[in-house]
Structure 1
Amino acid sequence: MPSRSRKTTAEVLELERLADSASDVRQVTMGHRVFLSIKRAIVHGRLVPGYPVSEVELAGQLGVSRQPVREAFIKLADMGLVEIRPQRGTFIQRISRREVENARFLREAIEVAIARRAAEVASAEAVRPLWDLVEDQARCGVLPDHSQFLALDDALHHEIARMADCERGWRLIEDLKAQMDRVRYLSISSATPADTIVSQHRILVQAIADRSPDAAEAAMRHHLREMLKSLPIVIENNADAFDL
């Protein structure tokens, strides 16, 4: 357990209160919203690695019954974000370096191919939203809260997949990159400056705009290998967050 004093779930977590509903369809939506809210809190570091989380406290803070929280815990355990210990409770998993490296490897294999296809089919009209996202991200990079910056990062990569008619590829990436996202939130202030990411994105988008598959592939590969440089720095600065 981390050496810092233990806090309650309510003290370390800020989540929007969600209105409950009796509708079966709305319950499905509500369950997904509960899952996303807790996942976001873990990825953003508001729920601290190694700490226990209370099903009762989370349900109370979200304004929902315990059932969607329990279901969220099961999904989060499958993703390696929480550990459910019978008779002991549920704990936020520390970040696994091995899982981060494996996820990065798989993401590179998928997204390099997506970038290549995007460059092959690019048009001026299709590329324009990419430039808009890069410029929006550049403006957000100077803000102290990096949440919007990283949301725009995901939006850019998603849009490239959409251009390439490979949204299923992006859904696969979303499923495997949760551990990477935890590192991204830790690295942007200490290991990988925002302007470095924006510069890499400009090179990538320019390669797609130029309809140069080789350049787009190389730019995406270089961009996704940035984490190989930043990960050791992040681990050194946040040792308590990692399970090595």
Structure 2
Amino acid sequence: MSMQPVLDLTISAAPQVYDWLRDAILRGELAPGSRLSEGEIGKQIGVSRQPVREAFIRLTSEGLAEVRPQRGTFISRISLSAVLSARLIREAVESDLIRMVCDRADDALLARLDREIEMQRAAIDRDDIEEFVRLDDRFHFLLASAAEQEGVWSVLEGLKSHMNRLRHITARAFDARRLTDQHAAIVEGLRQRDADAAEQAMRLHLRELLADLPEVASSRPELFTK
């Protein structure tokens, strides 16, 4: 991996190794099917095998890694069923959240959301896909926060790891400007205090994945599993 974690030696290493590896998996730096070696990773970052082993166990429990008997630990392929389930849950939850936000969307919030969209477009212009995906997540978190439902967003984060992996692929493969235009439509619904329009824009936005998924899965079948 190109990036190396800066470990805080005053706290447990295992959670830090886990966070580093999980981030690399979600960003696609560790590709599906890649083999993970406790010894090699431990040597690379200067820790013993034990914290690396603990990180592997957590990744396996999340479905991001898998143990193959007699062969080792490997990065799991992206689960299409997990992606579709997470998308369905997100649509149900975030459609309700946006209606809640519509009742409290003041000028300060609208201005903040407009700035976020400007930053997303700037990231796309720089071809900085990782930054765009980070800003995309922050946009949705800001909406959950505006609804005073940060805890709900935390629950969603725990459900959408496979979806996040796919987002990094589709953001590179397709025109991410469509997504920023959809964000702008959501904000316009809020600006007009039109809860129905804001909800419809959110639903259309979260269904965008359904349009991209078949092409991505057929062009890169080695990355996916049912």
TM above 0.5 = yes
Quote the offset at 1:109 in angstroms: 1.2
Question: Any residues of structure 2 matched to 1:184-199 within 5 Å, and which?
Answer: 184-190=167-173, 192-199=174-181
- The one-character-per-residue Cα deviations of 1:118-163 (angstroms, maximum 9, x if unpaired) are 1121111122221111100001012233100100000100011000
Task: Give yes or no for the alignment of 1:226 onto 2:208.
Answer: yes
Question: Any residues of structure 2 matched to 1:142-153 within 5 Å, and which?
Answer: 142-153=125-136
1:84 match: secondary structure: strand
2:103 match: secondary structure: helix
What corresponds to 1:3 in structure 2? none
Runs of 4+ in 1 over 4 A off after TM superposition: none
Please say if residues 7 and 16 of structure 2, whose CA atoms lie closer than 8 Å, have aligned partners that are also in contact.
no
Quote the offset at 1:103 in angstroms: 1.1
What corresponds to 1:19 in structure 2? 7
Please say if residues 5 and 20 of structure 2, whose CA atoms lie closer than 8 Å, have aligned partners that are also in contact.
no
2:88 match: secondary structure: helix
Please say if residues 83 and 90 of structure 1, whose CA atoms lie closer than 8 Å, have aligned partners that are also in contact.
yes
Quote the offset at 1:197 in angstroms: 0.6
Letter in 1 for 2:204: H
Gaps of 5+ in 1: 1-12
- 1-structure distance, mates of 2:104, 2:49: 48
Equivalent of 1:32 in 3, 7, 15: 15
Equivalent of 1:51 in 30, 34, 48: 34
Query: For residues 123 and 20 of structure 1, do their structure 2 counterparts lie closer, same or farther at Cα, with a shift above 3 Å needed?
Result: closer
Quote the offset at 1:54 in angstroms: 0.7
- 2-structure distance, mates of 1:68, 1:209: 49
What corresponds to 1:241 in structure 2? 223
- The one-character-per-residue Cα deviations of 1:155-190 (angstroms, maximum 9, x if unpaired) are 100011000000011101111111011111111232
Letter in 2 for 1:16: Q
Quote the offset at 1:87 in angstroms: 4.4
What corresponds to 2:138 in structure 1? 155
- 2-structure distance, mates of 1:114, 1:31: 35
Gaps of 5+ in 2: none
Give TM-score, length-normalised by structure 1: 0.87
Give TM-score, length-normalised by structure 2: 0.93
Equivalent of 1:166 in 133, 149, 152: 149
- 1-structure distance, mates of 2:14, 2:59: 13
- 2-structure distance, mates of 1:181, 1:237: 18
Q: Percent identity?
A: 39
Please say if residues 20 and 64 of structure 1, whose CA atoms lie closer than 8 Å, have aligned partners that are also in contact.
no
- 2-structure distance, mates of 1:106, 1:228: 14
What corresponds to 1:93 in structure 2? 76
